[in-house]
């Protein structure tokens, strides 16, 4: 049992406890759990302590993940990331791999990664036991995220190192500025990019 993973060790312990209890007649899953905990904690207390910590960490991690997902969904359906009606479904936090990031801090690549994951999730709704309500909401989110990406891409063209938050801030400033100011800013950005290229 030394080279086995915690899951394999637990599976073996469950099987042994099940056999012991089956010999006495009717048994419940809680009986098996109690029996294996007692056996492991008595026979190998150090190994059991490590297993217990790993099991608890995995269990709590799953609970935390689900709660974060739910809290983000609730917050993001109540108020969007931007104070603009056409972006009310774009989430404030986006999922990257196994974690989350504030969308304002995300790079364009991270934003696109999150959008691709959302697209994959929408495609999974074609299978049974998927909520039509969630599918509808996710489709709205994807549509709005596409629009945000189109807006942000032009700003990333002048500075690939900026964040999504900065790109949208520039967009909002341009919406509020008179047309002459917008043209002047774009000209200045192009000039700055050309200067950087010439120096490189």
Q: Please determine, for residue 126, whether its predicted confidence score (pLDDT) is greater than 80.
A: no
Same domain, 69 and 86: no
| Region class of 80: left (phi > 0), else alpha (psi between -120 and 50), else beta | beta
- Return d(Cα 113, Cα 188) in angstroms, integer: 31
- Helices 45-78, 6-22: axis angle to 10 degrees equals 110
Same domain, 196 and 135: yes
State pTM to two decimals: 0.62
Is 193 within 8 Å of 158 (Cβ atoms)?
A: yes
96-119 pLDDT, tens digit each:
888 888 888 999 999 999 999 999
Q: How confident is residue 145, by pLDDT bands cut at 50, 70 and 90? A: very high
Same domain, 109 and 193: yes
Same domain, 113 and 148: yes
- Return d(Cα 82, Cα 165) in angstroms, integer: 10
Same domain, 131 and 45: no
Q: Which of 1-15, 18-32, 164-178 has the lowest mean pLDDT?
A: 1-15
Same domain, 32 and 88: no
Domain boundary among 52, 78, 104: 78
Query: Three-state DSSP class for 96?
Result: strand
Query: Three-state DSSP class for 5?
Result: coil
Same domain, 106 and 181: yes
Q: How confident is residue 2, by pLDDT bands cut at 50, 70 and 90? A: very low
Domain boundary among 35, 58, 78: 78
- Give CA 92 to chain center in angstroms: 11
Domain boundary among 57, 78, 99: 78
155-183 pLDDT, tens digit each:
999 899 999 999 988 988 887 777 665 56
Residue 31, burial from CB neighbour count under 10 angstroms (0-12, 13-18, 19+): middle
pLDDT averaged over every residue in the chain: 81
Residue written as token pair 């696109």: 112
Same domain, 95 and 46: no
Same domain, 36 and 46: yes
Same domain, 58 and 94: no
pLDDT at 1: 38
Question: For the chain, what is the domain count?
Answer: 2
Residue 128: Cβ within 10 Å count: 5
pLDDT at 78: 46
Same domain, 93 and 178: yes
pLDDT at 111: 95
Spatial neighbors of 125 by CB under 8 A, at least 6 apart, are 131, 132, 134, 135, 138
Q: Which of 129, 95, 89, 100 is nearest to 112 (CA)?
A: 95
pLDDT at 189: 61
- The larger pLDDT score, comparing residue 200 to residue 71, is at 71
Determine the structural domain holding residue 32 and report its residue range: 1-78
- The larger pLDDT score, comparing residue 107 to residue 121, is at 107
Query: Three-state DSSP class for 162?
Result: coil
Same domain, 96 and 193: yes
């Amino acid at each position: 049992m030394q080279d086995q993973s915690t899951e394999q060790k637990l599976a073996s312990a469950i099987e042994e406890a099940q056999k012991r209890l089956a010999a006495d007649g009717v048994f419940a899953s809680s009986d098996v759990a109690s029996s294996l905990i007692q056996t492991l904690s008595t026979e190998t207390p150090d190994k059991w302590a490590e297993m217990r910590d790993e099991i608890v960490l995995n269990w709590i991690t799953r609970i935390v993940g689900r709660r974060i997902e739910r809290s983000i969904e609730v917050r993001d359906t109540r108020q969007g990331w931007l104070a603009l009606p056409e972006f009310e479904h774009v989430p404030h936090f986006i999922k990257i791999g196994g974690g989350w990031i504030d969308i304002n801090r995300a790079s364009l690549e991270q934003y696109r990664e999150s959008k691709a994951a959302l697209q994959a999730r929408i495609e999974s709704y074609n299978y049974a036991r998927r909520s039509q309500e969630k599918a509808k909401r996710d489709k709205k989110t994807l549509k709005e995220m596409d629009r945000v990406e189109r807006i942000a891409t032009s700003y990333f063209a002048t500075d690939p190192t900026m964040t999504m938050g900065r790109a949208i801030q520039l967009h909002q400033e341009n919406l509020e500025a008179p047309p002459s100011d917008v043209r002047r800013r774009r000209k200045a950005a192009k000039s700055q990019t050309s200067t950087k290229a010439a120096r490189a």
